[in-house]
Structure 1
Amino acid sequence: MLYAVIGMLNLSVNIGVMLRGSSEVISASTRGLLSANVAIAVMTIVFVVYGVAGGLAAAIITDFIQGILTIIFSFLLLPLLMNAVGWMDGIRGAITDPQKLTLVAPAQIGFFYITVIALNGLVGIVTQPHTMGNCAAGRTEMDGRFGWMFGNMIKRICTVPWCLTGLAAIVYFAGKGVEVEPDKVFGAVAGDFLPNILPGVLGVFLAALLASVMSSCDAFMISSAALFTENIYRPLRPDRRQSHYIAVGRIASVAVVSGGVVFAYWLPGVVAGLEIFWMVSAMMGLAFWLGLFWRRTTVAGAWAATLVSFAVMLFTGKIAFGQYVLWDFDASCARYLPHFMLWSDRLYLPWQMIFYLSAGLISGVVVSLLTRPVAAAKLDNYYALIRTPITPGESRGTSGRLPCTLPQGAVVPEKRNIFPNTSLEFMIPSRTSVVGFLIGWGFVAAIVAVVYLIASA
């Protein structure tokens, strides 16, 4: 139940951030003809209708088509804008502050910031509901590994033209004497350049943008429906007809989307929304990693790690409803903190993350040690499942087979623990795992090197 509640909150926040960000792009590209608030309403209506009607099949088909369009338009604007500003020579000539051309900014977003954000993301990425669904959709272990890693690498490649577009936009709009809000830069660039290519190209761009956002939001909506129905409602109301549970799931999905829409309208900006999303995403991560690597983790410990992390996150932030401020950590406590923990007299985001991750980890360990251990038979079955790969053509068994049980005929690999005869479960990685890990870091190094070479060319 805990995971279902946190997962639905995560998905609702994610929906809100995506709606707010895309609505700002639409508003800017149409020069205000379609306001951001109207765009949020239109997108929500469309993806709720086809998501509720078509379910997972509709989400898969639209994700495939719209993902291709997103990749195309990620690169389409870049050569047009770069040509207008004189490519990198023009950018370097116009930007006198060399810090804007460095990969790691010496100010707010420095190496420490990037490191902590990455750690927080590593903690939370594994427990995002749609992430679990994506990885589990593969027919085999290798399908899941390959699809997840290379799908993420394609996303990272797309961030390169986004970054360069933003950099060139600084020069382009400065030359025109126009000041553009950061959330609207991409849309403003599209509105200036795409209509000059061919009539209707801007419309195709907006359609692709709408499609990519709605395809993600409908997937989040379907995940939230499954979380509520299978983990909260069905245990309370078992043995109902399948049509009944489908109806309940649709109602739940609309409720989660409604929360995301409210969040989108409330958000002061996309960056603020991203920061909230990053923090919420990490809430269940500590319980996951503790349970994966430490046999002594208990159910009470998982609850403690999650709830304490959440409490510390709220305590070190600001809780406000409109103009009414219920709690503001910065106003009440920031002056008592060391200067290195502050940025502009406010708690620095990386330190806030360190606080709630550390508090959650310590709480999970302490409570686990103070409570009754999980039965050894359950633990042995769980860790056997974890290290047994899915094989091609594997039988799923009968429809009545209980969850978390191995299919008949499955061969459990030998346990090769780095720390034998302890409660730790750190397995010696396989050759495939090591090779895949190194290839992944090779891709990362290549992307960073390409960006560095472009910036210094």
Structure 2
Amino acid sequence: GMMFKRVMMIFWALAGLLAIGLYAGQLNDPDLIWGYMTKQLLGPGFIGIMMIGVLAANMSSLDVQSVSLAALFVHQVYKPLFPHKSEEHYLFVSRIIIFLTIFGGIGMALYVKNLLELFKYFISMPAIFGAAIWLGFMWRRLSKTAVTIQIFVSFLIIVIIPNVFSSWDATRSYAPFLKQTQERQIVVETKALRADVEAGLAQHAGERITKTRMVPPYPLFFDRITREDPADPNSRLLGVGRFNAELWVLSWFGIDFSGFNKAQLEATRFAFDAIFPLLCLIVLSYFSKPASRKTLDYFFAKVHTPIQPTPEEDKRKVEENAAHMHHFESRKLFPKTHWELHKPMKMDYIGFFGTWALVGLIILLLWLVVNIGA
């Protein structure tokens, strides 16, 4: 199913090709092309139909996600805390969670002014919990204490500090937090726009030309830096937008970001969000007590045991494997270690390389579409 969804990207590419053919050289920002094409090509009624389609697609996804989130919360959080309640009670709690999820999303949409920044949060947030989940399936040494501390510290760095520091006047005006990258001059090769033709820099729109551009200084720890009073050039500087606590933490170790560009700063931030939780878990787990061997044996026996035809047979097989975990040692990539990484089997190879073959096929189709008429 996921692969068939990727085929739709080819049709998106077709829309881009149409835009190039119709409006080449008229827009300098490709992100504007969808709205521009909608305005230029669709009449009032057709614009409404397109908006209905977009809304319907999103509504069908959001209602399923809200129900799924409510079910996860009730079964994984609420039910263990409040067991032995009636099904009607749990259903009522689920409805409350659905209500809070939907209206929480509406509140977020009204509160958040920068959609791109919200998207960046959605990229970083899963790493806070995902690292523990992923490592829990791979490593026996992982401890509950390490997970608790890691989630708290990661949440502090990725969520709490950025929001608190971006709202405090003291941190927004703190001089070390207002550092910027160095101004640089670069030469880029690009396609000429109509303005370039009118300025005599090219013979026609689309011609490859070189331009010299100045890359202005970019804030290290905030999205941008402005004057408190824009009309007063002597007013104090203030940081605006998200505070990048990840870069702040890395600066403690003497890393100099003054030579970085904007893309490198963003990449460093996301790399920290991805790697730090894993490192934190591994280090802390070596200084804390893991779960009991019996608990771990049963868990990994359940992970490694194929699903059986009936629940009773499945339970019996899991218990049997849990009592004889040494049978799995020969299948491990790293025998006699805490790592539960098994050697790939025939079906694993088929699935892995088959998936990449489908990816290659989709990329090939996309390449063929993009090069139509070239």
The TM-score, its normalising length taken from structure 2, stands at: 0.66
The superposition leaves residues 396-430 of structure 1 with CA deviations (integer Å, 9 ceiling, x where unpaired) of 34xxxxxxx94245675952111111111110112
Q: Amino acid of the residue matched to residue 34 of structure 2?
A: F
CA contact (8 A) 2:17 2:370 kept: no
For residue 294 of structure 2, the aligned residue among 358, 372, 377 is: 377
State the match for 1:268 in structure 2.
113
CA shift, 1:432, in A, is: 0.8
Give unpaired runs (5+ residues) of structure 1.
1-150, 398-404
Displacement of 1:360 after TM fit?
1.3
Q: Does 1:451 align with 2:301?
A: no
* Aligned equivalent of 1:226: 71
Q: Does 1:189 align with 2:37?
A: yes
Which residue identity lines up with residue 186 of structure 1 in the other structure?
W
Preserved contact between residue 286 and residue 305 of structure 1 (Cα < 8 Å) = no
- What corresponds to 1:19 in structure 2? none
Instruction: Map 1:229-378 to 2 at 5 A.
Output: 229-314=74-159, 317=162, 329-330=221-222, 331=239, 337-339=256-258, 341-343=260-262, 348-378=265-295
Q: Which residue is 2:218 aligned to?
A: none
Q: Which residue of 2 aligns with 1:36?
A: none
| Partner in structure 1 of residue 204 of structure 2 | none
Counterpart of 1:246 in structure 2: which amino acid? Answer: L
Residue identity opposite 1:368 in structure 2: S
2:358 alignment partner AA:
F
Distance of aligned partners of 1:180 and 1:396 in 2 relative to their CA distance in 1, 3 Å threshold:
same
Q: CA deviation at 1:386?
A: 0.8
Once the 2 structures are TM-superposed, how far is the Cα of residue 369 of structure 1 from its aligned partner? Answer: 1.1
Bigger relative contact order (CA 8 A; separation at least 6)? 1
- Equivalent position of 1:439 in the other structure: 354
SS at match of 1:165: helix
User: What is the aligned residue count?
Assistant: 291
Aligned residue type for 1:283: I
User: 1:254 offset after TM fit, Å?
Assistant: 1.0
Structure number with greater Rg is 2
Shift of 1:222: 0.8
Percent identity between matched residues is 26
Indicate conservation of the 8 Å contact 1:341/1:351, yes or no: no
Contact 1:286–1:361, Cα closer than 8 Å, also in 2: yes
* One-letter identity of the residue aligned with 2:366: V
User: In structure 1, what is the Cα distance between the partners aligned to 2:344 and 2:61?
Assistant: 33
Residue 5 of structure 2 corresponds to residue 152 of structure 1: no
Deviation at 1:210, TM superposition (A): 1.8
2:27, 2:33 within 8 Å by CA — same for their partners in 1?
A: no
Q: Is the 8 A contact 2:7 2:362 kept in 1?
A: yes
Q: SS at the partner of 2:341? A: coil
Q: 1:188 to 1:312 in 2, by over 3 A?
A: same
Query: For the structure 1 residues 325 and 230, does the alpha-carbon distance in structure 2 shift closer, same or farther, using more than 3 Å as the test?
Result: farther
What aligned pairs does 1:133-172 form with structure 2 within 5 A after superposition?
151-166=1-16, 168-169=18-19, 172=22
Q: What code does the residue aligned with 1:450 have?
A: L
Q: Which has the higher helix share?
A: 1
Q: What SS does structure 2 have at the residue aligned with 1:286? A: helix
Q: 1:116-158: per-residue Cα shift (whole Å, max 9, x none)? A: xxxxxxxxxxxxxxxxxxxxxxxxxxxxxxxxxxx22122222
Instruction: Give how far 1:341 is off.
Output: 4.2
Aligned partners of 2:369, 2:127: CA distance in 1, in Å? 33
Deviation at 1:319, TM superposition (A): 5.0
Give the root-mean-square deviation of aligned CA atoms: 3.5
Distance 1:361 1:322, change over 3 A: closer
Q: Distance in 2 between matches of 1:372 and 1:342?
A: 43
Within 5 A, what are the aligned runs for 1:47-86?
none
Q: C-alpha offsets along residues 192-248 of structure 1, whole Å, 9 cap, x if unaligned?
A: 44559xxx6555433332221011101111122123322333233322221111111
Deviations 1:236-273 (A, max 9, x none): 33222211111111111111222211222233344333
* Range with bigger deviation, 164-173 or 415-424: 164-173
| 1:417 aligned partner | 332
1:208 pairs, out of 35, 53, 62, with 53
From the superposition, tell whether residues 452 and 440 of structure 1 become closer, same or farther in structure 2 (CA, over 3 Å): same
Counterparts of 2:333 and 2:102 in 1: how far apart (Å)? 44
